[in-house]
Protein backbone atom coordinates (compact mmCIF):
# COMPACT_ATOMS: atom_id res chain seq x y z
CA UNK A 1 0.00 0.00 0.00
CA UNK A 2 1.14 3.37 -0.82
CA UNK A 3 0.93 5.88 1.98
CA UNK A 4 -0.65 9.00 0.73
CA UNK A 5 -0.30 11.90 3.05
CA UNK A 6 -2.64 14.77 2.60
CA UNK A 7 -1.43 18.15 3.70
CA UNK A 8 -4.24 19.49 5.78
CA UNK A 9 -4.21 23.13 6.69
CA UNK A 10 -3.54 23.53 10.35
CA UNK A 11 -5.79 26.05 12.01
CA UNK A 12 -3.93 29.09 13.12
CA UNK A 13 -3.82 29.79 16.78
CA UNK A 14 -5.52 33.06 17.74
CA UNK A 15 -2.70 33.95 20.08
CA UNK A 16 -0.10 33.28 17.38
CA UNK A 17 -2.00 35.45 14.88
CA UNK A 18 -2.30 38.20 17.42
CA UNK A 19 1.40 37.96 18.15
CA UNK A 20 2.25 38.10 14.47
CA UNK A 21 0.17 41.24 14.00
CA UNK A 22 1.42 42.83 17.17
CA UNK A 23 4.50 44.64 15.80
CA UNK A 24 2.58 46.06 12.85
CA UNK A 25 -0.23 47.32 15.03
CA UNK A 26 2.30 48.69 17.48
CA UNK A 27 4.09 50.55 14.69
CA UNK A 28 0.81 52.04 13.47
CA UNK A 29 -0.12 53.05 17.01
CA UNK A 30 3.30 54.60 17.46
CA UNK A 31 2.97 56.58 14.23
CA UNK A 32 -0.52 57.71 15.25
CA UNK A 33 0.82 58.70 18.65
CA UNK A 34 3.62 60.80 17.17
CA UNK A 35 1.20 62.41 14.71
CA UNK A 36 -1.15 63.39 17.54
CA UNK A 37 1.73 64.75 19.62
CA UNK A 38 3.11 66.81 16.76
CA UNK A 39 -0.35 68.13 15.88
CA UNK A 40 -1.09 69.09 19.47
CA UNK A 41 2.32 70.73 19.78
CA UNK A 42 1.69 72.85 16.68
CA UNK A 43 -1.78 73.84 17.90
CA UNK A 44 -0.41 74.82 21.31
CA UNK A 45 2.32 76.87 19.66
CA UNK A 46 -0.22 78.71 17.49
CA UNK A 47 -2.38 79.30 20.58
CA UNK A 48 0.56 80.75 22.54
CA UNK A 49 1.81 83.12 19.82
CA UNK A 50 -0.65 85.96 20.69
CA UNK A 51 0.13 85.57 24.40
CA UNK A 52 3.84 85.74 23.65
CA UNK A 53 3.22 88.87 21.60
CA UNK A 54 1.41 90.48 24.52
CA UNK A 55 4.28 89.59 26.84
CA UNK A 56 6.85 91.13 24.48
CA UNK A 57 4.77 94.30 24.04
CA UNK A 58 4.39 94.71 27.81
CA UNK A 59 8.18 95.16 28.13
CA UNK A 60 8.66 97.49 25.13
CA UNK A 61 9.14 101.24 25.10
CA UNK A 62 6.01 103.26 24.17
CA UNK A 63 7.61 104.55 20.98
CA UNK A 64 8.58 101.07 19.84
CA UNK A 65 5.17 99.61 20.72
CA UNK A 66 3.31 102.33 18.78
CA UNK A 67 5.51 102.31 15.68
CA UNK A 68 6.29 98.64 15.07
CA UNK A 69 4.90 95.19 15.77
CA UNK A 70 6.18 92.94 18.51
CA UNK A 71 7.71 90.56 15.97
CA UNK A 72 10.27 93.21 15.03
CA UNK A 73 12.23 92.38 18.19
CA UNK A 74 13.21 89.04 16.64
CA UNK A 75 15.72 90.84 14.44
CA UNK A 76 17.50 92.48 17.40
CA UNK A 77 16.32 90.91 20.68
CA UNK A 78 19.38 92.14 22.64
CA UNK A 79 18.86 95.82 21.85
CA UNK A 80 18.54 97.23 25.35
CA UNK A 81 16.96 100.55 24.37
CA UNK A 82 13.68 98.89 23.36
CA UNK A 83 13.07 97.13 26.71
CA UNK A 84 11.74 98.71 29.89
CA UNK A 85 10.06 97.87 33.20
CA UNK A 86 8.38 101.26 33.40
CA UNK A 87 5.15 99.87 31.94
CA UNK A 88 4.56 97.61 34.93
CA UNK A 89 5.50 100.42 37.32
CA UNK A 90 3.00 102.76 35.69
CA UNK A 91 0.28 100.12 35.70
CA UNK A 92 0.71 99.09 39.33
CA UNK A 93 1.45 102.42 41.02
CA UNK A 94 0.61 105.34 38.68
CA UNK A 95 -2.70 106.84 37.61
CA UNK A 96 -5.76 107.95 39.50
CA UNK A 97 -6.63 104.35 40.43
CA UNK A 98 -3.50 102.16 40.15
CA UNK A 99 -3.82 98.56 39.09
CA UNK A 100 -2.47 97.51 42.50
CA UNK A 101 -5.59 98.93 44.19
CA UNK A 102 -7.85 97.40 41.53
CA UNK A 103 -6.10 94.08 42.11
CA UNK A 104 -7.06 94.17 45.79
CA UNK A 105 -10.60 95.23 44.88
CA UNK A 106 -10.94 92.26 42.52
CA UNK A 107 -9.85 89.90 45.30
CA UNK A 108 -12.37 91.57 47.63
CA UNK A 109 -15.09 90.87 45.08
CA UNK A 110 -14.06 87.42 43.79
CA UNK A 111 -13.39 85.63 47.09
CA UNK A 112 -16.76 86.30 48.79
CA UNK A 113 -18.62 85.92 45.48
CA UNK A 114 -17.09 82.43 45.21
CA UNK A 115 -17.43 81.25 48.82
CA UNK A 116 -21.00 82.44 49.44
CA UNK A 117 -22.70 80.57 46.55
CA UNK A 118 -20.68 77.43 47.26
CA UNK A 119 -21.83 77.37 50.90
CA UNK A 120 -25.49 77.94 50.07
CA UNK A 121 -25.46 75.59 47.07
CA UNK A 122 -23.84 72.80 49.10
CA UNK A 123 -26.65 72.91 51.66
CA UNK A 124 -29.27 73.02 48.90
CA UNK A 125 -27.65 70.14 47.00
CA UNK A 126 -27.63 68.00 50.16
CA UNK A 127 -31.30 68.78 50.68
CA UNK A 128 -32.21 67.84 47.11
CA UNK A 129 -30.19 64.61 47.33
CA UNK A 130 -30.64 63.11 50.81
CA UNK A 131 -33.71 64.77 52.34
CA UNK A 132 -37.26 63.77 51.43
CA UNK A 133 -40.06 66.32 51.48
CA UNK A 134 -43.04 67.28 49.37
CA UNK A 135 -42.25 69.21 46.21
CA UNK A 136 -38.51 68.48 46.27
CA UNK A 137 -38.22 67.42 42.64
CA UNK A 138 -40.41 70.27 41.38
CA UNK A 139 -38.32 72.80 43.29
CA UNK A 140 -35.13 71.34 41.85
CA UNK A 141 -36.53 71.57 38.32
CA UNK A 142 -37.42 75.22 38.92
CA UNK A 143 -33.90 75.97 40.18
CA UNK A 144 -32.28 74.23 37.20
CA UNK A 145 -34.68 76.03 34.86
CA UNK A 146 -33.15 79.33 35.98
CA UNK A 147 -30.02 78.35 34.03
CA UNK A 148 -31.75 79.31 30.79
CA UNK A 149 -32.69 82.79 32.03
CA UNK A 150 -30.18 85.40 30.80
CA UNK A 151 -28.48 87.36 33.55
CA UNK A 152 -29.00 90.60 31.66
CA UNK A 153 -32.77 90.59 32.27
CA UNK A 154 -32.15 91.05 36.01
CA UNK A 155 -29.65 93.90 35.80
CA UNK A 156 -32.14 96.79 35.61
CA UNK A 157 -34.40 95.53 38.46
CA UNK A 158 -31.33 94.85 40.61
CA UNK A 159 -29.91 98.29 39.89
CA UNK A 160 -33.16 99.93 40.92
CA UNK A 161 -33.40 97.81 44.05
CA UNK A 162 -29.80 98.54 45.05
CA UNK A 163 -30.45 102.24 44.51
CA UNK A 164 -33.45 102.12 46.85
CA UNK A 165 -31.56 100.35 49.65
CA UNK A 166 -28.27 102.24 49.14
CA UNK A 167 -26.10 99.34 47.90
CA UNK A 168 -25.06 100.80 44.55
CA UNK A 169 -21.30 101.13 44.25
CA UNK A 170 -20.55 98.77 47.15
CA UNK A 171 -19.00 95.33 47.28
CA UNK A 172 -22.10 93.61 48.77
CA UNK A 173 -24.05 94.58 45.65
CA UNK A 174 -21.66 92.60 43.44
CA UNK A 175 -21.49 89.72 45.95
CA UNK A 176 -25.26 89.30 45.94
CA UNK A 177 -25.50 89.60 42.16
CA UNK A 178 -22.87 86.95 41.49
CA UNK A 179 -24.34 84.72 44.19
CA UNK A 180 -27.76 84.82 42.58
CA UNK A 181 -26.44 84.32 39.07
CA UNK A 182 -24.14 81.44 40.03
CA UNK A 183 -26.48 79.59 42.37
CA UNK A 184 -28.45 77.46 39.82
CA UNK A 185 -25.32 76.06 38.19
CA UNK A 186 -23.71 75.39 41.58
CA UNK A 187 -26.77 73.50 42.84
CA UNK A 188 -26.99 71.51 39.61
CA UNK A 189 -23.31 70.46 39.68
CA UNK A 190 -23.19 69.62 43.39
CA UNK A 191 -26.51 67.78 43.43
CA UNK A 192 -25.46 65.54 40.53
CA UNK A 193 -22.16 64.80 42.22
CA UNK A 194 -23.72 64.04 45.60
CA UNK A 195 -26.12 61.63 43.90
CA UNK A 196 -23.10 59.45 43.04
CA UNK A 197 -21.95 59.18 46.67
CA UNK A 198 -22.52 55.80 48.40
CA UNK A 199 -25.93 55.88 50.04
CA UNK A 200 -24.86 53.23 52.55
CA UNK A 201 -22.56 55.73 54.27
CA UNK A 202 -25.42 58.20 54.71
CA UNK A 203 -27.74 55.49 56.01
CA UNK A 204 -25.10 54.27 58.46
CA UNK A 205 -24.72 57.79 59.83
CA UNK A 206 -28.49 58.05 60.20
CA UNK A 207 -28.59 54.73 62.09
CA UNK A 208 -25.84 55.96 64.41
CA UNK A 209 -28.02 58.96 65.29
CA UNK A 210 -26.20 61.66 63.32
CA UNK A 211 -28.22 64.73 62.45
CA UNK A 212 -28.46 66.09 58.93
CA UNK A 213 -25.96 68.82 59.73
CA UNK A 214 -23.46 66.33 61.16
CA UNK A 215 -23.88 64.05 58.14
CA UNK A 216 -23.46 66.99 55.79
CA UNK A 217 -20.43 68.52 57.49
CA UNK A 218 -18.52 65.38 58.46
CA UNK A 219 -19.31 63.03 55.58
CA UNK A 220 -20.77 64.72 52.52
CA UNK A 221 -18.53 67.80 52.41
CA UNK A 222 -15.23 65.86 52.64
CA UNK A 223 -16.39 63.45 49.93
CA UNK A 224 -17.55 66.33 47.72
CA UNK A 225 -14.28 68.29 47.73
CA UNK A 226 -13.57 67.60 44.01
CA UNK A 227 -16.96 68.96 42.96
CA UNK A 228 -16.67 71.94 45.30
CA UNK A 229 -13.22 72.76 43.93
CA UNK A 230 -14.42 72.41 40.33
CA UNK A 231 -17.22 74.89 40.83
CA UNK A 232 -14.90 77.17 42.81
CA UNK A 233 -12.62 77.41 39.76
CA UNK A 234 -15.53 78.17 37.45
CA UNK A 235 -17.05 80.78 39.75
CA UNK A 236 -13.78 82.49 40.65
CA UNK A 237 -12.69 82.82 37.02
CA UNK A 238 -16.13 84.06 36.03
CA UNK A 239 -16.21 86.72 38.74
CA UNK A 240 -12.59 87.75 38.24
CA UNK A 241 -12.99 88.22 34.48
CA UNK A 242 -16.44 89.83 34.70
CA UNK A 243 -16.76 93.34 33.28
CA UNK A 244 -20.49 93.95 32.87
CA UNK A 245 -21.68 93.40 36.44
CA UNK A 246 -18.66 95.16 37.95
CA UNK A 247 -19.12 98.14 35.61
CA UNK A 248 -22.85 98.45 36.39
CA UNK A 249 -22.82 97.94 40.16
CA UNK A 250 -19.36 99.30 41.05
CA UNK A 251 -18.32 101.51 38.16
CA UNK A 252 -15.15 103.57 38.24
CA UNK A 253 -13.71 105.03 41.39
CA UNK A 254 -12.13 103.72 44.55
CA UNK A 255 -13.86 100.31 44.23
CA UNK A 256 -12.90 99.80 40.57
CA UNK A 257 -11.83 96.23 39.77
CA UNK A 258 -9.15 94.98 37.39
CA UNK A 259 -11.39 94.47 34.36
CA UNK A 260 -12.90 97.96 34.57
CA UNK A 261 -9.44 99.46 35.04
CA UNK A 262 -8.16 97.60 31.98
CA UNK A 263 -11.12 98.77 29.88
CA UNK A 264 -10.28 102.40 30.61
CA UNK A 265 -6.52 102.07 30.26
CA UNK A 266 -6.29 102.48 26.49
CA UNK A 267 -6.72 105.98 25.14
CA UNK A 268 -9.28 107.07 22.57
CA UNK A 269 -6.55 107.42 19.92
CA UNK A 270 -5.40 103.82 20.39
CA UNK A 271 -2.30 104.74 22.38
CA UNK A 272 -1.23 102.89 25.52
CA UNK A 273 -0.91 99.37 24.13
CA UNK A 274 2.15 98.70 26.25
CA UNK A 275 0.21 99.61 29.43
CA UNK A 276 -2.77 97.52 28.38
CA UNK A 277 -0.63 94.43 27.82
CA UNK A 278 1.20 94.91 31.12
CA UNK A 279 -2.11 95.25 32.94
CA UNK A 280 -3.41 92.14 31.19
CA UNK A 281 -0.52 90.07 32.51
CA UNK A 282 -1.01 91.47 36.00
CA UNK A 283 -4.67 90.43 35.89
CA UNK A 284 -3.73 86.93 34.66
CA UNK A 285 -1.57 86.10 37.68
CA UNK A 286 -4.29 85.11 40.16
CA UNK A 287 -6.47 83.06 37.73
CA UNK A 288 -3.42 81.07 36.63
CA UNK A 289 -2.45 80.44 40.26
CA UNK A 290 -5.96 79.29 41.16
CA UNK A 291 -6.27 76.95 38.17
CA UNK A 292 -2.82 75.39 38.63
CA UNK A 293 -3.27 74.85 42.37
CA UNK A 294 -6.76 73.30 42.01
CA UNK A 295 -6.22 71.47 38.73
CA UNK A 296 -6.20 67.97 40.25
CA UNK A 297 -9.51 68.63 42.02
CA UNK A 298 -10.91 70.12 38.83
CA UNK A 299 -10.15 66.96 36.81
CA UNK A 300 -11.53 64.66 39.53
CA UNK A 301 -14.68 66.72 39.86
CA UNK A 302 -15.34 66.65 36.11
CA UNK A 303 -14.75 62.88 35.75
CA UNK A 304 -16.28 61.57 38.97
CA UNK A 305 -19.68 60.01 38.47
CA UNK A 306 -19.18 59.54 34.73
CA UNK A 307 -18.76 55.77 35.12
CA UNK A 308 -20.46 53.74 37.80
CA UNK A 309 -19.57 50.27 38.93
Per residue in 235-260, pLDDT (tens digit) is 999 999 999 999 999 888 788 899 88
What pLDDT is recorded for position 233? Answer: 87
Rounded to whole angstroms, the Cα distance separating 246 from 74 reads: 39
What pLDDT is recorded for position 305? Answer: 45
Phi, psi of 83, deg, nearest 5: -105, 145
Neighbours of 292 (CB within 10 A): 9
Question: 212 with 126: CB under 8 angstroms?
Answer: yes
Apex CA 163: angle with CA 157 and CA 167, to 5°?
Answer: 105
Rounded to whole angstroms, the Cα distance separating 172 from 184 reads: 20
Distances (CA, A) of 198 to 130, 151, 194, 287: 11, 35, 9, 33
* H or E element at residue 238: helix 225-240
Question: 255 with 170: CB under 8 angstroms?
Answer: yes
Q: Which residues of 26-62 are buried (b: 16+ CB within 10 A; e: fewer)?
A: eeeeeeeeeeeeeeeeeeeeeeeeeeeebebbbbbeb
CA dihedral 95, 100, 101, 106 (to 10 degrees): 130
The distance in angstroms from the start CA to the end CA of the chain is: 67
Distances (CA, A) of 8 to 5, 27, 68: 9, 33, 80
Please report the sign of the dihedral spanned by the C-alpha atoms of residue 212, residue 215, residue 218, residue 224.
negative
Please list, in sequence order, all residues whose beta carbon lies within 8 angstroms of the beta carbon of residue 240, skipping any fewer than 6 positions away: 106, 110, 258, 259, 283, 286, 287
CA dihedral 146, 149, 152, 158 (to 10 degrees): -40
What pLDDT is recorded for position 119? Answer: 93
Phi, psi of 54, deg, nearest 5: -65, -40
What pLDDT is recorded for position 15? Answer: 47
What pLDDT is recorded for position 29? Answer: 56
Architecture of domain 88-303: Orthogonal Bundle (1.10)
CA dihedral 127, 130, 133, 135 (to 10 degrees): 70
| Rounded average pLDDT per 10-residue block, the chain, 309 residues | 46 48 57 80 88 84 77 74 80 77 91 93 93 91 89 88 89 93 91 90 89 91 88 90 90 85 66 75 84 72 48
* H or E element at residue 97: none
Locate the domains of the chain by residue range.
Answer: 88-303
pTM for this predicted structure = 0.77
What pLDDT is recorded for position 27? Answer: 57
Rounded to whole angstroms, the Cα distance separating 120 from 255 reads: 26
Please list, in sequence order, all residues whose beta carbon lies within 8 angstroms of the beta carbon of residue 271, skipping any fewer than 6 positions away: 62, 66
Amino acid sequence: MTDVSLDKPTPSTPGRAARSKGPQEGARASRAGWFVKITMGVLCLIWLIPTFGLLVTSFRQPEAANTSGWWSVIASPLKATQWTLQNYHDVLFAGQTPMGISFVNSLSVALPATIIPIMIAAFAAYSFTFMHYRGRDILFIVVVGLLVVPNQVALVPLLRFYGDVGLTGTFPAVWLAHTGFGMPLAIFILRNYMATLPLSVIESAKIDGASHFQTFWRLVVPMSVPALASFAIFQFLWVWNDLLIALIFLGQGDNMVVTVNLAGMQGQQGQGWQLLTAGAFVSMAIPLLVFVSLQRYFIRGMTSGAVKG
